Amino acid sequence: MSETIPHECDVLVAGAGSAGLAAAHAFAAQGRTVVVVGKVETHLAGRTVALFEGSLRFFRALGLWPALESRAAPMEGIRLIDDTGSIFPTQPKEFRAREIDLDAFGQNVENNVLVAELAEAARKNPLITLVEGLLDAFELNYSGARARLASGQWIDAKFIVAGEGRNSQARQVAGITVKTWTYPQVALTVLLKHEKPHHNISTEYHKRSGPFTFVPLQGREGAPHRSSLVWLVTPREAVRLKALAPEELAAEIQEQSHDFLGHITLDGPVGAFPMGALKTSGVTGLRLALIGESAHLFPPIGAQGLNLTLRDVASLVDCLEGVDLDEADKITRALASYERDRARDIGFRVNGIDMLNRSLLIHALPVDFARAFALTFFSAFGLLRRALMREGVTPHGPTPKLMQKSARAARH
């Protein structure tokens, strides 16, 4: 914990996950003083994030990418394989980044590495104070906002960014309602070492229990070929798989992957994350905005979660650029455009991923047919195929400044 905790700041960020830390850096780059409060969690088992082009531009613009680059692996292609056993099987589909004039769709990096680096950079940034604790109360008023640390100290702020994840308390205090639901799935996550190279291609098998996805990881000494695995299984199957000895689990993974990476061994502990989703009635309140999992949650299909979050952050700082945070009416007007901007992007991802996930879980011929038809149709026509790829990587709609091609490294 920092030596002295300021009693006031321009922007108070609740949550020190990847969302909160990214927001802290983006607001500091605007010259605002920021206090970011949360536990810096760097022991999530087996979790990685595939960061797409817009997200990479975001981190580059903030000067944060160089520390991460050497530990990230490029994703030059994405292979989709129907392994549902449906009577309407589709041929494997492969999408290459160069089809949309990119060297790679993005870069895959370990979640723990990303959070640790963002936290380390925050500690060095004179405009950011990182407080490794929890907030237990929030007050939002026309004249200002404040939040209380579990230790009892209040911190006054002109603006609050709620990035404390799915159970956000700030969201509740702001009167934003939430609809949540669950899926009969658990995501098992684990890092793997394997015999054959991944060729910088991410391979996603669509199975009846959900996707089974290998994402390329950077090799290291003694382990030149590494990938991360996200495997959606039933809760009962998750319990069985987690109880297996490492060699037994590795053997099951190898069998499920039809051996395409050769011999597999585990390269760390196995994580298990129950799957759910969340939609909110809005993303703003009085002197407050939601970002990240406080604002949206869905299963990890198509690697959209953190990429969407970084668009929240980039859009929010754009909306508040040049706004005097002492003036509540100006903040409210700026937040109206944040609300408009995020509604479409968030709605599209939460609903689209829900539909795709359910289409795998529902064992019905018409659904199998529709899924097979949609994939074949989209991948067969060049224009549609490229539009689909671009939508996943750099979505349509206005591009926030930190994600524009020309975004320059921001100075503190």
Given candidates 67, 113, 134, 361, which one binds ligand FAD under the rule CB under 6 A? 134
Stretch that binds ligand FAD, among 1-9, 10-18, 76-84, 154-162 (CB under 6 A): 10-18
Stretch that binds ligand FAD, among 18-26, 201-209, 237-245, 381-389 (CB under 6 A): 18-26
Tokens of 99: 């089809």
CA distance 78 to 339: 32
CB-wise, 313 or 407, nearer to ligand FAD? 313
CA distance 109 to 217: 7
Q: Using CB under 6 A, which residues numbered 328 to 357 contact ligand FAD? A: none
Does the footprint of ligand FAD cover residue 227 (CB under 6 A)?
Answer: no
Cα-atom radius of gyration of the chain, to the nearest Å? 21
Tokens of 265: 């061994």
Q: What are the residue ranges of helices labelled H in 97-245? A: 111-124, 169-173, 235-243
CB closest to ligand FAD, residue no: 17
- Here's the x/- map for ligand FAD, 62-101, by CB under 6 A: it reads as ----------------------------------------
- Least Cβ distance, residue 18 to ligand FAD (angstroms): 5
Edge to edge, what strands does the sheet with 48-52 contain?
Answer: 48-52, 106-110, 73-75
- Least Cβ distance, residue 304 to ligand FAD (angstroms): 6
Given candidates 10, 12, 15, 301, which one binds ligand FAD under the rule CB under 6 A? 15
Name the helix (H) or strand (E) containing 340. Answer: helix 328-361
- Least Cβ distance, residue 296 to ligand FAD (angstroms): 8
Q: Which amino acid is at 13?
A: V
Nearest Cα to Cα of residue 159 among 172, 167, 175, 170 = 170
101 Cβ contact list (under 8 Å, min separation 6): none
- Applying CB under 6 A, the residues found at the interface with ligand FAD are 14-20, 37-39, 41, 47, 49-50, 134-135, 163-165, 169, 187, 189, 230, 273, 292-293, 300, 303-307, 309
